[in-house]
Amino acid sequence: MQHHSKQRDGEHGGAGVKFLIFLGLIILLAHAGYNYVPVAYSAESLKTEMHTAVMQGLALPGKMNPVDNVKARISRAIEQNEIPPDAIVEVKQNGNALTAHVTFSKQVNILPFGMYKYNYNFDHTATPTGFLLKQ
């Protein structure tokens, strides 16, 4: 039995190049995730802290000013979560409800060497919910 092999010129040497392209894409995705995930995590942590501060501000006993207390708690959360210091914090009291609004913008390097920077915009308003508002 004879086996004749044909030369297939289009099938030679393509695996190494494809592997390098794939590896480059994986490195780019890892770099983007390494830079983006901490910023998104900090923003979500700030949201949680805002909701906690608003709820605890409503439950304050005595003569303490709930607006000042909530602002102080949110300011501490901003420092702990490495939020830009130019973040705008607004706390308002409407009747027995407190609302806290925080806005900031932060640039995130998605591609290496600053080739593409994503502008992460945070704009969140925390309002209390639950049994503290019912009368």
Query: 3 in a domain, yes or no?
Result: no
Query: 10 in a domain, yes or no?
Result: no
C-alpha span between 52 and 130 (Å, rounded): 12
Q: DSSP label at 13? A: S
Residue 21 is predicted with a pLDDT of 95
pTM: 0.80
pLDDT digits (tens, 9 = 90+) for 47-99: 999 999 998 888 877 677 888 999 999 999 999 999 999 999 999 988 778 89
Distances (CA, A) of 109 to 79, 88, 123, 133: 21, 23, 20, 42
Query: 78 in a domain, yes or no?
Result: yes
Provide the residue range defining the domain that includes 76.
20-126
C-alpha span between 53 and 69 (Å, rounded): 8
Distances (CA, A) of 14 to 18, 28, 62: 6, 21, 75
Residue 114 is predicted with a pLDDT of 87
Query: 32 in a domain, yes or no?
Result: yes
Total domains in the chain come to: 1
Query: 135 in a domain, yes or no?
Result: no
Query: 30 in a domain, yes or no?
Result: yes
Q: Which residue has the higher pLDDT, 24 or 129?
A: 24
Query: 2 in a domain, yes or no?
Result: no
% of residues, the chain, pLDDT over 70: 87
Query: 6 in a domain, yes or no?
Result: no
